[in-house]
Structure 1
Amino acid sequence: MSKKYILAVDGGSQSSKIVIFDLEGNIVCEEKENLRPVNLPSPGVVEHPDDDLWDSIAVASKKTLAKFNGDVKDIMAVGLCTIRFCRALLKKDGSLYSPVMSWMDQRVSRVHEQVSDDIAYVTTSSGYITHRFTGNFNDTAANYQGVWPMDTDTWQWYEDDKKIAEYNLTRDMLFHLQMPGTILGYVTKEASEATGIPEGLPVVATSNDKAVEALGAGCTGEKTALISLGTYIAAMAQGHDNPKNTVNFWSNFASVPNQYLYESNGIRRGMWTVSWFKNVLGDSYADKAKSMGMSAEELLSKEAEKVPVGSDGLMTVLDFLAPADQPFKKGTMIGFDGRHTRAHMYRSILEGIAMTMKSRVDEMCEELDVKLDNIIISGGGSNSDLFMQIFSDVFGIPSSRNVVNGSAAVGSAICAAVAVGAYKTFDEAVAHMVHMRDTFQPNLQNTEKYARMNAVYRDITKCTDDLLKRSYEIFS
């Protein structure tokens, strides 16, 4: 019997990635296409230019299939995962009325504004891309986060049309909702010509990108949390209930039907801060690293490994992107003395991320009345042994990473595999397709030091906020 494959679409904030997996979760080939810079035509407006979300998927698909050495007839399905919190306004024929609103666009935090009669549908990024692939007006129910007329208990639109009208919408403007792991439609001839993906392949519903990532990382137990290292860093844990009016976390739809993903408060410019610091060092540092046969991040990690736990008292506060209700917030580094080098600064950023997330996770787990046994770390930052050990030491429990750290693609493939019957259940698919790479055990001496340090770290902003408010009046 010939080998079978799944094609996974992983549409992120920076790029669109296409990955072909076998049914054991091994990557056969992959390619990506970077997204174009967002348009910022006016304050609060952040848009993906032209038809960039679809165009980038089309380019990445063709590049991936050009590398694929198997028989395209053995590709069983397409799993579709896209960015959450986006909003797409479509004309009656399903084409874009205007560019897709980014999750950073202030309009997505408000009810829809019907600025033209030409707007026939209002949907998510996944709804729009589903239509481009299949011609259908179907979407996963699990990508409707934010301001939508959604009953989160039933995973469906409100039954009362008056409640839908409160969002400036009518029922016929909304897509038909389906559960993760179901077939949304089939690749059309037009979509096949644009992407190279075979016509007639089933296109499968997943969830929002964070929930798909959690599934692909194997974060399915109630005592395991996933920390997703991306531009936005958050922690997630799965559960069966849909709690309301929570304080320290919010309930998101999981990628497993009728389950929920509890998501902590996070860091708005998390791994961005790591990239920022690397870029501050300039081309000469990157050239030095290259001459030594490594990347700038690898050289920084190598240098930071020699720095004592706690970075000799240097602490970094990660408010590099202020929330809308606290515009005075700024990133800070505090505690400099003559011992400190770039390696101390780099390690303090990593420690700041880990300590911030420890506080956020503790708050969530206390409200849930859950005690974690271990954490899974996903994203490119998990490639750093130093970062993995810092997480384990700060949390005081084992930290694990998987063979495939871009786990949204794996989660997308899992949903598709279940939909076409390659596996009977999500648990069975996870067991076959998610593979742990290694686990880091905590050094309890370091854990005790980080606990003492974090008690100070948590109070820094209490002392600096008043100063930053005063400086904001000068520099805003």
Structure 2
Amino acid sequence: MIGNTNGSGPYVMGIDYGTESCRVAICDLRGRPIAIASTAYETTHPRPGWAEQNPEDWWKALQASTHKVLANAGIPASAIAGISYDATTLTLVAMDEKGEELRPAIMWMDVRATEQAARAADSDSVAKLYNGGGHSPAIAEWFPFKAAWLKEHEPDIYARAAHLVDAPDWVTYKLTGEWTTNINSAALRMYYNRAQGGWPTDFYETIGVGDVFEKISDRVLDLGQPVGQLGLIPAQLLGLRPGIPVAQGPADAWAGQIGLGVLSPGSMALITGSSHVLTGQTDTEIHGKGFFGGYSDGVMPGQFTVEGGQVSTGSVLKWFKDNFAADVVSAAEKVGLNPYDVLNEKARGIRPGSDGLIINEYFQGNRTPYSDSKARGIIWGLSLAHTPAHMYHAIQEAVCYGTAHNLRAMKAGGFDVERIVACGGATKSRDWMQMHADVTGVPITLTEVGDAVVLGTCMLAAVGAGLYKDLPEASENMVHEIDVIEPNQAVHDEYQFYVDKYCDTYPQLQSMIHDMVDHEAAQK
């Protein structure tokens, strides 16, 4: 589907700021990518549990990717009729009055604000928040706690910050010069509830950042709504024409949900990558223990979004590849193969359960069902019969077990998932997708454009430019289902013993792991 064209358009451009790179896609109005280009940037981990990136690297990467994608597409810049974007969330960016960044961005996966989140959890205010029905968690990854950490540990930066924004709203400013707060970040990561009057100011005051609203734009926009026009200077730097309509974008996972066409109740989007996100829509406000939601208006106006997530999934496989499979990587590179394909082949004959090896993939904490930023990975059941291939296979299974654990929590809360629509890096492995289906027992639908995140941003661009009236119409024309992976019932039944053991593991070791995390933190 990707290739040169001499067409005059109209085309739309989608920008995806993921954890590892900035990707830019140009799509036609049938949702077919004309070209995609990517530029990587670095994540640093100054301390355990911390993760930072330099926004200057983001901006340079966008310039490089935009120039590459235009060259690869072979179309004039004048053919681009609309732009939208996504970025990781909640990735906190502190900016001064001139719109210049004051420090590295505190990434979505960063859990340094554990103490601030615990402070909120110790109060009764959390249970009163709209998005939990008494189960609402205080997550160290989320906005108010990172803002509180910044105020307490870097007070000078906090005082100088005229704007504290999530990464998608950083993109808004860089492209248009406008300060907005996107409804997706606000509802899902900042405790905003339009139906209940907006910001829970008393909750923010409880954790010591009641003054942060001076640094947040009160212009809260729905997804796909026109934000402004591409400014002259960014247009020159990106090689685009100024004045292109720019549409409000979301966090990356929810751009993926849009790109999968999961815009109404009945399906669940599974967005895979460095992490896993499970997200779907309901007509009613569903709450329950072990998952997030329902968030009002966060994706579609008038609906509620339900969410579950695994912090470390693809990133744990990458950790294994980078640290324990140097021989595989070297051999694969010599013959032009993908190292993951070689690892998948080595693990293919291992039976379900990896011969009794269980891994919990909580290497960077647990988002759901425990909402525990102090969680860490666990490996048990090792014997002298286990090989590196067993470890790799068990990590793949761990990710699937974590997905199944999340689905169990949602089902207990009244959200029974009967159909998953998946996208992202994991979908490149048919075996791993089959494992997801077998472990969860849920059919998995694949769409024509596996890179649903960039497709979602292109759909938003089309709506913002007036090329489609709304997201459902854009979905009808731009999202095309191509395959369904059905679970093997016998394998599913066999896996349930191991899923049970996986689910039982962390609660038994949680206090010991917390002690270890606290001890190590005290050594720094």
Give 1:303 deviation, angstroms.
2.4
AA at the equivalent of 2:20: Q
Correspondence for 1:344: 390
Task: Give the whole-Å Cα distance in 2 for the aligned partners of 1:119 and 1:465.
Answer: 37
Correspondence for 1:178: 221
State the identity as a percent: 20
What are the within-5 Å matches in structure 2 for residues 26-45 of structure 1? 26-38=32-44, 40=46
What are the within-5 Å matches in structure 2 for residues 439-454 of structure 1? 439-454=484-499
**Structure 1: 5+ residue runs without aligned partners?**
none
Out of 396, 408, 412, the residue aligned to residue 362 of structure 1 is 408
What are the within-5 Å matches in structure 2 for residues 303-342 of structure 1? 303-322=346-365, 327=374, 329-338=376-385, 340-342=386-388
Out of 464, 475, 480, the residue aligned to residue 430 of structure 1 is 475
Task: Give the whole-Å Cα distance in 2 for the aligned partners of 1:280 and 1:43.
Answer: 17
Give 1:7 deviation, angstroms.
0.4
Task: Give the whole-Å Cα distance in 1 for the aligned partners of 2:191 and 2:276.
Answer: 27
Give 1:394 deviation, angstroms.
1.2
Give 1:400 deviation, angstroms.
2.0
Out of 152, 161, 169, the residue aligned to residue 127 of structure 1 is 169
What are the within-5 Å matches in structure 2 for residues 54-453 of structure 1? 54-103=59-108, 104=110, 106=112, 108=143, 109-111=145-147, 113=151, 115=156, 118-144=160-186, 148=190, 150-153=192-195, 156-157=198-199, 167-171=210-214, 174-243=217-286, 246-251=288-293, 252=295, 254-264=298-308, 266-291=309-334, 293-322=336-365, 327=374, 329-338=376-385, 340-367=386-413, 369-453=414-498
AA at the equivalent of 2:282: G
Give 1:82 deviation, angstroms.
1.4
Counterpart secondary structure, 2:233: helix
Asked whether the equivalents of residues 84 and 458 of structure 2 are also in contact (C-alpha less than 8 Å), the reply is yes
Counterpart secondary structure, 2:53: coil
Task: Give the whole-Å Cα distance in 2 for the aligned partners of 1:237 and 1:434.
Answer: 16
Counterpart secondary structure, 1:458: helix
Counterpart secondary structure, 1:372: coil
Give 1:291 deviation, angstroms.
4.9
Q: More displaced, 342-351 or 94-103?
A: 94-103
Task: Give the whole-Å Cα distance in 1 for the aligned partners of 2:480 and 2:197.
Answer: 30
Give 1:92 deviation, angstroms.
2.2
Alignment size in residue pairs: 471
Give 1:100 deviation, angstroms.
2.9
Please state if 1:49 is matched with 2:47: no
Give 1:199 deviation, angstroms.
0.8
Give 1:220 deviation, angstroms.
2.7
AA at the equivalent of 2:355: D
1:427-467 Cα deviation digits (max 9, x unpaired):
22112212224221111111111123322332233555576
Task: Give the whole-Å Cα distance in 2 for the aligned partners of 1:118 and 1:293.
Answer: 50
Counterpart secondary structure, 1:144: helix
Give 1:287 deviation, angstroms.
3.0
1:385-438 Cα deviation digits (max 9, x unpaired):
111111111122211222322221111111111222222231221122122242
Asked whether the equivalents of residues 88 and 251 of structure 2 are also in contact (C-alpha less than 8 Å), the reply is yes
Asked whether the equivalents of residues 238 and 259 of structure 1 are also in contact (C-alpha less than 8 Å), the reply is yes
1:45–1:373 CA distance, 2 compared to 1 (3 A):
closer
Asked whether the equivalents of residues 124 and 144 of structure 1 are also in contact (C-alpha less than 8 Å), the reply is no
1:329-386 Cα deviation digits (max 9, x unpaired):
3331424352x3333222221112111210111111220x232222122211111111
Task: Give the whole-Å Cα distance in 2 for the aligned partners of 1:229 and 1:427.
Answer: 23
1:273–1:68 CA distance, 2 compared to 1 (3 A):
same
Task: Give the whole-Å Cα distance in 2 for the aligned partners of 1:173 and 1:18.
Answer: 27
Asked whether the equivalents of residues 12 and 83 of structure 1 are also in contact (C-alpha less than 8 Å), the reply is yes
Task: Give the whole-Å Cα distance in 2 for the aligned partners of 1:181 and 1:405.
Answer: 21
Task: Give the whole-Å Cα distance in 1 for the aligned partners of 2:248 and 2:9.
Answer: 23
1:292–1:233 CA distance, 2 compared to 1 (3 A):
same
1:167–1:447 CA distance, 2 compared to 1 (3 A):
same
AA at the equivalent of 2:410: M
Correspondence for 2:122: none
AA at the equivalent of 1:351: E
Counterpart secondary structure, 2:15: strand
Counterpart secondary structure, 2:212: coil
RMSD, aligned CA: 3.1
1:58–1:352 CA distance, 2 compared to 1 (3 A):
same
Task: Give the whole-Å Cα distance in 2 for the aligned partners of 1:156 and 1:60.
Answer: 36
